[in-house]
Structures are given as C-alpha cells and as structure tokens.
Structure 1
Amino acid sequence: MPDPSTYRPPTGSIPEEPGVYRFRDPSGRVIYVGKARSLRQRLNSYFADTWSMHPRTQQMVTTAASVDWVTVRTEVEALQLEYAWIKEFDPRFNVRYRDDKSYPYLAVTLDEEYPRLQVMRGAKRKGVRYFGPYSHAWAIRETLDLLLRVFPARTCSKGVFKSASMSGRPCLLGYIGKCSAPCVGRVTQDEHRQIALDFCDFMAGRTDVMVRRLTKEMAEASEELEFEKAARLRDDLAALRRAMEKQTVVFGDGTDADVVAFADDPLEAAVQVFTVRGGRVRGQRGWVVEKTEDLTPGDLVHHFASQVYGGEHGETDIPRELLVPELPNDVEALAEWLSERRGSRVTIRVPQRGDKKTLAETVKRNADQALVQHKLRRSGDLTTRSKALDEIGDALALETPPLRIECYDVSQIQGTDVVASMVVFEDGLPRKSEYRRFAITGATDDVSAISEVLRRRFHRLKAETIAAAAQPLDPETGRPRKFAYPPQLVVVDGGAPQVNAAGLVLAELGVTDVAVCGLAKRMEEVWLPADEFPVILPRHSAGMYLLQQLRDEAHDFAIRYHRQKRSKRMISSALDDVPGLGEVRRKALLKKFGSVKRLMNASVDEIVEVPGIGRRTAESILEALNAESGSTPNGNGSVKQGA
C-alpha cells in the first residue's frame, strides 16, 4: 500500500487560515476536494495512522500522490470555491448527489404566445413557471388529467398546434373539453393566457378562491335552471378536490421549505427530501451516497446543501427554509451562501415541535426504508462486481484487480465508414462520461482499425500526461484532461489477430503497465498477445459476464456512431441535387428526423416545420429520396416502399 507520508507537506508550511484543498493522483487528476476552517488542522488529520481511518478515506489518501490548497478570507468564500471545484473536477472520492437523472417538473410556458402545460426536465429557463419536483413524470400527467377539465390550457407541441391551426380542426382534447382549442380560435390569446394564470394560482396554493368561484357559478346556473352547466361545474369541483387531496396541506402558514433527513451506516447514507411549497408537499427526491469519511449528520447537511442547490438539472429552486436533522458546523456561512444564491434570506434550522417536526419524522422513516432497500439491492451487486474483477485479475495474472478497464470495438461495412468506440468501466460500472468514439481514416479492416485507434489513444495519453503535469486543466475546455487517465486493462473485441495488433501498438509506444486481452465472439474465448491458446473463463462466471458486458457496450456504442455517419452520408448524397438545399438545411433535416428512413416516411407538412424549408423544397426532397429508393408517394405526401 502506498505511504501517504511520501507526499505529506511539512506541518509548518500549511496555513491555519480557512481554505480549500485538493488531493491529486499520480497523473495529476483531482480525486478529492474539501474545505476547512483551519487548513493545518484538517490536512494533518489525513496523515495520521492509515489503518485507523475510514475505509474510503484510507483508499483516497493511498491513491493520492500530492495535495495542494488555496487560502481564502471567509468560510463563505471557501464554500463558493469548494462548490466550483467539485463541479469542475468531478472528484471520484467526493460525496456525489447523483442518480443519473433530472427530476421532472410541471411547467407552464408563460414565455410563449399561447402558454403550454407540460412535463419538463433539465435546466430551468426564464419566463416559465415550475411546480415540483415530482418523483415520476406519471404523477404530473395524473395531476394534469384531473385539472385540464377545469383549466383547459394547451398541452400540445408546437408542431401539433401548427398543424391544427392550418387544418382548422382541433385535436382530441379539444373535442372532449380538456383543451380550450386556441389553435382554432375558440378562445382568444388573452383568454387562454388567463386560463394558464388561473392554473398557476391553483398550483401555487390559492385553491380556496377557485373553489368559491366554481361553487358560486354552480349555484347561479342551478337557479337559472341551466342544469347541464351546473352538472359540469359540479364535476369540475370534484376534480379540483381530488387534485387537492393529492397535494395535502402539511403547514397552514404557507411555508416554502425543503425537509431533509438521512439514514446512514459506516459506508453509505440515504438522503430523502420532501419539497413543500405554499404549505403543500409538491414532490420528493432521494439519493444514496457513498461516505468518503466518518461524516456526522451535520457534515451530510453541508455536503447536501452545497451540492444540490446549484445543480444543473432544475435543482436550483432554493427554499426560504431548510429543515434538517442537525446543524452543520458552518451553518452561518452555509445560510449566507444559500441566501446569496436565492437572492433573499434562507434559514437553516432543526424543527423542534409541531407539524414541522412531525413531517421531519416522516421523511426520516422514508430515508430509513430507502437505505434498507438500497442495501438489499446493492449487496449482491457489490459482491458480484468485486468477484468479477478478482476473477479477471487472476485469469490474466495481474498483480491487482483492474479497477479501470477500457474496451474497443470497430464497426464498418466492407471497409466504408469505418469507426471505433472506446467504453470505460471503473470499479465494474460504466463511466459513460469518458466514452469516446473515433472516425477511422487510414484502415479498411478490423485489425488495422484497432491498431490505429489504440495508437491514437495511447499517443494522446502520453502527450496529455506530460501536459497534465504542468497544467492539469485543458486550456481549450477548461476541464480536467480525462483522456490522460490510464487504464489497467485494455479489452478488444476480437481474437488473436486483433489482440496481437493491440499488443504490438502498446509495445511500440513503450506502454508496459497496461494489460491487453481480447474476447472472441465465437466461443467467448479470452486471448492474450502472442499466446498460442486462449484463456478459458467459466461460461457463467462473474468475470465472463463483466467482459461480455464491456464487449456488448462497446459494440452498441460503435454501431450507433456508424449508423449516424452512414445516415449523414446517405442524406447528403440523396439530396445533393435538390435545388436550394445546402449544407445547413441538410444538417437541420438530419437533426429533426435523425435518419433517412424517418425523413422518407415524413409528410410534406412535417418537413416544412424545419426552419428554412418551404413546401416546394419539401416536395423536391421527397421526390429525390423516392427516386433513390424506388418508392412511390402516398396521398398524404409521405412515401410507400416499393415492392
């Protein structure tokens, strides 16, 4: 095990001021970022007895090769820099609040001429009202289905809206009364906007006004003997009450708060957040994170608040109040930092009594259940992944299990549009942010293509390793040089010819610390360079399953890139002779339809939705594609394949 004392800075050289520190691995990659009120006191704790440390901390300090720091004036500045560095470097040992998805919101696009109600994910944009987040998109659609009869605002896409406007016929929702059909002029622009604003008021918690208004209108209709109208208003009231039941009032004072709770063991923590807006529970989110150190609930609150509020996927909705199980040591600095991001005061406190304490206990029970379920799901996964890496290491006679594996595959059709893919697995799991794809120009078969792509990859590795020593960030992107991170094992899709070619390339480049193997599809045999016979792994072993998963992932990634290139070439060649259709419009067509097949099956009306494409040009496009494929047009402007 590497000794952290080899890179320990002299104690007297570490300042006692607040600051932010970074641990780096031998290649210069940042693997951990932390902040401290006193840098000297905090950093000295990492160089104590290694065996007494938390397992993840022990792994981090023995993986690292250096540590550096930056001093700041206040804890708020330290928080800002810590947040910026975690987003910039994506350190592998930091607590990560990620679950590979963005949470859906119910959005009202008030920035459009005719506002639309829809499910939205991703970054928020100006001029759109958001309600949520919700755990599932179906929960939003269920709410919308109940409320559209009362607030019949548009939910259709721009294309559907435009088609209905041109044809003068509304969609099904317009016929059944769940859309006011502004597309055909049943309501004016101002009337439709008022419907959308009423919907926003209801979702924001002003429900009593709407209920009183509908009750009054129902009574008036009944007195005037308009019984059909009264019955419809009665049904509207019932729909409103059902929607209100799904958004139970938990705080009578209209509180805007996030209620956070944790359940943890020595290695992991489950986090649950209930989002309360206008006194009502609007949504729930949850994560399970790995603990890098022996973290208290207060430490978990710090990591949660500093990472989640400021995310890039709609998680910037900072509440006025954050209810937590324990206050962090830097609670004042954290509250000031959140207040700056929100633009108004944010309070962090522990609920002591009443409804807020009751809801906090409910959230805690959810966190306990989430951790139990996670451990049940992951116990087998962790054991299986460790076993698979051990089996691969033993079979290939490696000194240690290969924690980072790169797999390469080639895709082509008779030497044309040759491409290759690189997929990366770390600790037995896909690292999709580091996948790469290659356009091959100097090869016509799999063996020469494998040689070219590995030569390019490891030549770049050597160049960037040298560059990273002087400048860890890429000056063009401002991001870490991820391509400079070396694997312990390279897997190629193929048998002895492909493996021997890969081995020769690494030998030529002087790469001696990376193992190479190949997985042949025919008998699922594992080949090593220059070996006469393959290595046989049991067909149902965990190691074989992991190699197959790597191979299949690389194959799918290469196939997708190959189809994309081929589709671009086919569109380009088929449309070269269409008058007035240049490169920009061809790219717009590809972006809109994705493939030649979809473009051929599109109607003229759908093609004219692409910016810059008129009806005459759309007809010329279909004629050109029909002529090349031998198809005949349908009556609706799309095509029918010939026999």
Structure 2
Amino acid sequence: MADPASYRPGSGEIPTQPGVYRFRDEFGRVIYVGKAKNLRNRLNSYFQKPQQLAPKTYAMVHTGASVEWTVVGSEMESLQLEYTWIKQYTPRFNIMYRDDKSYPYMAVSMADRFPRAQVTRGAKKKGTRYFGPFSQAWAIRETLDSLLRVFPVRTCTRSVFKRAEQAGRPCLLGYIDKCSAPCVGRISEEDHKDLADQLCRFMAGDSEKYIRKLTSTMETAAENMEFEHAARLRDDIAALRKAFERNAVVLSDSVDADLFAFHEDELEAAAQVFHVRGGRIRGQRGWIVERVEDLSAPEMVEQLLQQVYGESAVTMASAPVDAELNLNEIPRNVLVPVMPENAEQLQEWLSGLRGSKVTISVPQRGERVQLMGTVADNAKQALSLHKSRRAGDLTTRSASLQELQEALDLPDALMRIECYDISHVQGTNVVASMVVFEDGLPRKSDYRKFSIRGEAARDDTASMYDVITRRFKRHLAEQQERESSPQASGEVDQSEATEPAKFAYPPNLVVVDGGPPQVAAAQQALDDLGITDVHVVGLAKRLEEIWVPDDDFPVILPRSSHGLFLLQRLRDEAHRFAITFHRSKRGKAMLASALDGVEGLGKAKREALLKEFGSLKAIREASAEDLTRAQGIGPRLAEKIRAHLSTDAEHSEDSGPVSE
C-alpha cells in the first residue's frame, strides 16, 4: 500500500473554491471521484491521522498514488461533472447503486422504420422508449397483449418481419387484428409511427384522457345508431381499463411522484422507488449499494437521485425530443426520506431536465407518509433477500479465487485474470480473443479481439505467441509512458482529464485455452518481453487439466472445485467471444469472395448487403427487387448480382467446422 503522505499536496496548493476531485492508483486508474464546496477542507480531511479514517476510506487513500482536482464555477456544475466522471470511470471506491434484480420494461423502438413494441430487460438502447420498470414480467406481457387490441403495433423480431415481407403474408397476429401488418403494406410507415406514438403517450400517463376520448366517441356512435362501431369502441375501452386495473390507486388522481426509501446496515444499503403517475403505481425498482464511504443519509439520497435521473437524462437525450414524454421520466414531485444537503442544486438540475419545476420534499402527513412506509418495508425486505443470496455467491467467489491461488502457488491474490483463445477454419481467418475477469466477475468493457496474419497464423502456438506479445508490448509501452510522466497531485483542466488505456492494467494470471504447447508459447512471449510478475497456466479441454510452464505433470483439481469452475467459465467465455468474432469475419470474407467480379459492387455495398440480409445464403435466395432494399443497390446492380450468383451456385456457404 502507498503512503498517503507521499502524494499529499501542500495545503496552500489546494483552492478553496467548489470543484470535483479524483484519486488515482499507481496505474493511473481513477479509483474515487468526489465533489466539494471547499476543495481544501475536503481533501485535507483525507490526509488526517489514519486511525481517524473509516476503514474503507483508509483503504482508498492507501490504494491511491495521486489526487487531482478541477475547479468549477458553482455547486451545480460540480454536481453535473461528478456524475459524468462516475459514469465514465466507474471508480471502485465510489458507491454504485446496482439493480437488485433484472427488471422488465415495455420498450417501443421509435428509432426503427416500423417501431416494435416488446418486453425487454438489460441495457437501454438509443432511440427506444422505455416504460416501467415492472415487478413481474407476466404482468407487463398481459398489459401489452391488452393494449395491442387498441394499438396494433408490430411486435415481431426483424427476422420474422423480413420473412413475412418476402412472403407477402402477415403472421398470426396480423390475421387476428393484433398487428397492423406493416410488413405487407396494410398500414403506411407514417401511420404506423403515429400508432406507436399513441401507445407511448398512453403509457406515459395519458391513459384516462385517452379513455375519456374513446368513451365520448363511443357515445356519439351510439347516438348515431352506429352500433357495431360503438361495440368495438366499448371493447377497446374495456381492454385499456383491464391493462391498468392491477395498478393500485395510492394517491389522488393528479399526483405524479417518485417515492424513495432506504434500509441500511453497517456495510450495505437497499434503496427502493415507487413510480406513481396519475395516482397509480406504474413501476417499482430497487438498488443495492455497498457503503464504501461512511456516508450520511442525506449524502446517500443525493447519490441515488444523481444516478437514477442521470440515467433518465441519457435516455431522453438519445430519444426524439418530446416534452410530454420527458415529463413522464421525471415527475413534479420527488419524495425522499431525508432532504439532501444540496437540495436546491438538485431541484435546479432536475427542473432543467424536466423542463418545468421539480420539488424535492420529505412527506410529513397523510397518504404520502403511509406510502413511504410501504416503500421502506420493500427496501428492508430487499436488503434481507440480497444478504441471504450474496452470502453464498460471495463466499463461493472468494473461495474459488483463494483455491486457485493456493493450488498454483501464486504470491498475490488473483484480482485480475485474462484468458486467451484462438479460433480459425483450417488455418484461415485466424482470430483470437482476450476476456477479463476481475474479482471473479467478467469485465466486458476490457474484452479485446485480435486478427492474426502472416507467419503468426501458421499454427496455434505461433498465434498465441503473437497475441501475448502484442498485448504486453502495449502494456510495457503504456507503463513506460506513465513512468516518463509521473502522476502528480494538483489541479487539472476538465478537458485534459483522461483515463489510462485498458491495456495498461497487468493481470495477475494469464490463462490460455490449451495444453503444454500453448502454455510454453505464452510463457516464451512474456520471457522475451522481460515480464516476470505475470503467471501463465493452460486449461486443456479433454481432462480439464491445468498446465503450468516447465512442468511435466498438470495440476488436477477435483471436478467439484470452485477454482476449476471459475477457470472453465473463463475458458468458455473466451471461446464464445472468439467464435463470435470469427464467424463475423468469416461471413464478410465469404461474401467478398462470392461477389468478386461484380462490376460496381465495392466494399461498402457488400457490407450493406450483409447488414440487410445477414448471410450469403439469404442474399442468394433474394430476388433482384429484394436486393434493392440494401443501401446503394439499384435495379441494374441488383440484376448483375443475381446473374453473378446464379453462375456461381456451386459455391459452398460453409467451408468447414470452426476450430475450437
């Protein structure tokens, strides 16, 4: 551990203005981001006597190697910059609110030519409107099924849509009037987008308004003796009411609010939010957070609001501008258990995102206090459930890392493990993958892909030597650059604040997919580069043996070993990543070779064909008219492509099994 005194800036060097500060470790990684009204007072508090620091704050300042700060003009600017940097760097010592489970959302892909409504989980995509989250997937599926009667938006996947478009026949939903069938031209592109927009507005809070409008139209139709039309409207109204009958009425009809509550212990806290729109609970979501710092309740509330509404701001920025939908993302009222210290700045920030005034308050009496109690009960149950689940998960993960360290007789704990795999087809299109596990969990942002050419592609050992050499040459170059310009504590400009490249972080252990030859090649690459603090092992598939360099006998772990299971997960993930990259590269190469000689068909147009149809087989089966759907392909060029492929029909789509 570093001595904080070695990088402590002089007290007189630190300004007294508001700003944002960052601690970095010896590799230049940002490990903590914070903000302060007075930078000098705040930073000096980190360098007091060690025994006066909280345990995790002590670990943070001793892991750090430098501290830097950026002065801003106001507390409002520091709030925005702190959130931006936390999202950019994901510092290990910042408190990070993690979803306590994967919540289902209703999503409408408004960026598509024909928007699709679906139930989805996971990361949000640009140009897609999300509604929820919902606590049960079946609830939102039933809701969507009811809404399709009134808003028959497309729900099929891209492949199903293209198949129906090519066949000229809609799917079953098109026949039972739960899809407007844009695939066969029953509805225009503009009208279908308008239908999807109406669905979004209904989900965004216009439900009662829309139902009242339908009711008025139904009554008018009945007065005009248009009884069949009135009956259809009556059934539509019933379907819409059914869609939301399970949403309990908890507050008065005019109330739009988000209610937050916490339950915490010494190490962790659980947060819950109820999204109330029009007096009804329209969504619920929960987070679990490790208490890295000894934060007070007001500070935890501030961090939570930053993360929740910062995500909403990103979603709204990527979606088409729509003031009414933005109002649904951030309500007029945000109810919290305690007021954050900088409530005024938070209200100003949220009001700017919403486009109208937002109030943060603590409920004092009545129905809102009762509902806050319900939210708090949910937070308490969520923390209890998380602890019971995590006890097994954390114990298993820690046991697997410790077991591997002991079995391989390694001096350091396995904080970072990298695994490499080679993939090819009979020596062609050779590629490699690098996957990274930190603390026993995948870190997908650090995954890398390699294309291998020339002499390095002659066999697996040469390919492995090439990949390891390339990866660690980058590491050495970045290490040398870092040493030539050592980190210094002090003020930095916001635009100059950069994160070191991912290759700058060395692993404790390198795992290769294979036996002694691959292990020897990897070790030779490290030896040639003069790297001695990175250890290498190989995992052979057939008997799951662990091979170490210069050892005639493998390390055998029991089949029930947690350490062996972790290595298998690493190997399988590297294999999956390599195969995915190889198939993508092979598909482009096959398309290029199959279409060589077509006059006027360059690289960009070949890629447009592959993007539109997905495979060479689909391109072969497409008609000339279908081919014109690809960008840049006109009728004359489509005829040339059809003629070329028909004379080359004996060309095989697949050239053999992929090497594992």
Tell me the TM-score normalised to structure 2 length.
0.84
Structure 1 range deviating more: 19-28 or 311-320: 311-320
Shift of 1:365: 2.0
Matching residue's letter, 1:336: E
How far, CA to CA, are the matches of 2:187 and 2:468 in structure 1?
Answer: 63
Partner of 1:450: 464
Cα gap change, 1:551 to 1:476, in 2 (>3 Å): farther
Partner of 2:275: 275
Shift of 1:434: 0.2
Give the 3-state SS of the residue equivalent to 2:21 in structure 1: strand
User: Would the aligned equivalents of 2:537 and 2:546 in 1 still touch at CA under 8 Å?
Assistant: yes
| Structure 2 residue 347 is the aligned partner of structure 1 residue 335 | yes
Pairwise mapping of residues 94-493 of structure 1 onto structure 2 (< 5 A)? 94-99=94-99, 104-107=105-108, 109=110, 122-123=124-125, 125=127, 131-134=131-134, 139-152=139-152, 172-179=172-179, 199=199, 202-212=202-212, 214-215=214-215, 228-229=228-229, 231-311=231-311, 314=315, 317-441=329-453, 442-443=455-456, 444-468=458-482, 470=485, 480-493=500-513
User: Would the aligned equivalents of 1:134 and 1:283 in 2 still touch at CA under 8 Å?
Assistant: yes
How far, CA to CA, are the matches of 1:425 and 1:152 in structure 2?
Answer: 44
Structure 1 range deviating more: 72-81 or 134-143: 134-143
How far, CA to CA, are the matches of 1:526 and 1:152 in structure 2?
Answer: 56
How far, CA to CA, are the matches of 2:590 and 2:192 in structure 1?
Answer: 44
| Structure 2 residue 527 is the aligned partner of structure 1 residue 526 | no
Partner of 2:326: none
Q: Deviations over 1:360-399 (max 9, x none)?
A: 2222222222222222222111111111111111122222
Out of 525, 534, 539, the residue aligned to residue 505 of structure 1 is 525
Shift of 1:454: 0.9
Out of 571, 574, 579, the residue aligned to residue 594 of structure 2 is 574
Partner of 1:92: 92
Partner of 1:640: none
Cα gap change, 1:358 to 1:616, in 2 (>3 Å): farther
Q: Deviations over 1:100-136 (max 9, x none)?
A: 9797344484x999877566873554xx876445457
User: Would the aligned equivalents of 1:494 and 1:519 in 2 still touch at CA under 8 Å?
Assistant: yes
Matching residue's letter, 2:361: R
How far, CA to CA, are the matches of 1:112 and 1:430 in structure 2?
Answer: 31
User: Would the aligned equivalents of 2:143 and 2:244 in 1 still touch at CA under 8 Å?
Assistant: no
Partner of 1:585: 605
Pairwise mapping of residues 601-640 of structure 1 onto structure 2 (< 5 A)? 607-614=627-634, 621=641, 624=644, 628=648, 630=650
Q: Deviations over 1:333-379 (max 9, x none)?
A: 22223333333322211112223222222222222222222222221
Shift of 1:34: 0.8
Shift of 1:141: 4.1
Shift of 1:237: 3.1
Shift of 1:326: 1.3
Matching residue's letter, 2:60: M
Give the 3-state SS of the residue equivalent to 1:70 in structure 2: strand
Matching residue's letter, 1:370: A
Tell me the TM-score normalised to structure 1 length.
0.86
How far, CA to CA, are the matches of 2:651 and 2:375 in structure 1?
Answer: 60
Cα gap change, 1:287 to 1:533, in 2 (>3 Å): same
How far, CA to CA, are the matches of 2:616 and 2:249 in structure 1?
Answer: 52
Partner of 1:69: 69
How far, CA to CA, are the matches of 2:649 and 2:603 in structure 1?
Answer: 22
User: Would the aligned equivalents of 1:104 and 1:136 in 2 still touch at CA under 8 Å?
Assistant: no
Partner of 1:42: 42
Structure 1 range deviating more: 392-401 or 160-169: 160-169
How far, CA to CA, are the matches of 1:138 and 1:344 in structure 2?
Answer: 35
Matching residue's letter, 1:335: Q
Cα gap change, 1:107 to 1:193, in 2 (>3 Å): closer
Give the 3-state SS of the residue equivalent to 2:473 in structure 1: helix
How far, CA to CA, are the matches of 1:556 and 1:193 in structure 2?
Answer: 37
Partner of 1:544: 564
User: Would the aligned equivalents of 2:95 and 2:293 in 1 still touch at CA under 8 Å?
Assistant: no
Q: Which runs of 5+ in 1 are unaligned?
A: 633-643
Q: Deviations over 1:542-594 (max 9, x none)?
A: 11111111111111111111111111111111111344432112101222333
Matching residue's letter, 1:289: V
How far, CA to CA, are the matches of 1:603 and 1:369 in structure 2?
Answer: 59
Q: Deviations over 1:3-35 (max 9, x none)?
A: 333333344443443221111110111111111
Number of equivalenced pairs: 629
Shift of 1:460: 0.5
How far, CA to CA, are the matches of 1:491 and 1:527 in structure 2?
Answer: 10
How far, CA to CA, are the matches of 1:50 and 1:579 in structure 2?
Answer: 74
Give the 3-state SS of the residue equivalent to 1:35 in structure 2: strand
User: Would the aligned equivalents of 2:507 and 2:534 in 1 still touch at CA under 8 Å?
Assistant: yes
Give the 3-state SS of the residue equivalent to 2:261 in structure 1: strand
Partner of 2:658: none
How far, CA to CA, are the matches of 1:26 and 1:157 in structure 2?
Answer: 48
Structure 1 range deviating more: 385-394 or 266-275: 266-275
Partner of 1:641: none
Q: Deviations over 1:70-105 (max 9, x none)?
A: 233432122122122223323222222355979734
Partner of 2:32: 32
Shift of 1:284: 2.1
User: Would the aligned equivalents of 1:411 and 1:558 in 2 still touch at CA under 8 Å?
Assistant: yes
Cα gap change, 1:51 to 1:550, in 2 (>3 Å): farther
Matching residue's letter, 2:523: G
Matching residue's letter, 2:315: G
Shift of 1:253: 4.8
Give the 3-state SS of the residue equivalent to 1:246 in structure 2: coil
Q: Which runs of 5+ in 2 are unaligned?
A: 318-328, 653-660
Q: Deviations over 1:124-179 (max 9, x none)?
A: 54xx8764454577654432321233344566689988998998866544543335
Cα gap change, 1:225 to 1:345, in 2 (>3 Å): closer
Give the 3-state SS of the residue equivalent to 1:398 in structure 2: coil
Shift of 1:611: 2.2
Cα gap change, 1:7 to 1:207, in 2 (>3 Å): closer
Partner of 1:638: none
How far, CA to CA, are the matches of 2:79 and 2:614 in structure 1?
Answer: 43
Structure 1 range deviating more: 458-467 or 172-181: 172-181
Shift of 1:426: 0.4
How far, CA to CA, are the matches of 1:157 and 1:508 in structure 2?
Answer: 51
Aligned-residue Cα RMSD (Å) equals 3.8
User: Would the aligned equivalents of 1:148 and 1:178 in 2 still touch at CA under 8 Å?
Assistant: yes
Give the 3-state SS of the residue equivalent to 2:245 in structure 1: helix
Give the 3-state SS of the residue equivalent to 1:492 in structure 2: strand
Cα gap change, 1:598 to 1:260, in 2 (>3 Å): farther
Shift of 1:534: 2.3
User: Would the aligned equivalents of 1:102 and 1:313 in 2 still touch at CA under 8 Å?
Assistant: no
Cα gap change, 1:398 to 1:449, in 2 (>3 Å): same
Shift of 1:435: 0.3
Partner of 1:555: 575
User: Would the aligned equivalents of 1:168 and 1:184 in 2 still touch at CA under 8 Å?
Assistant: yes
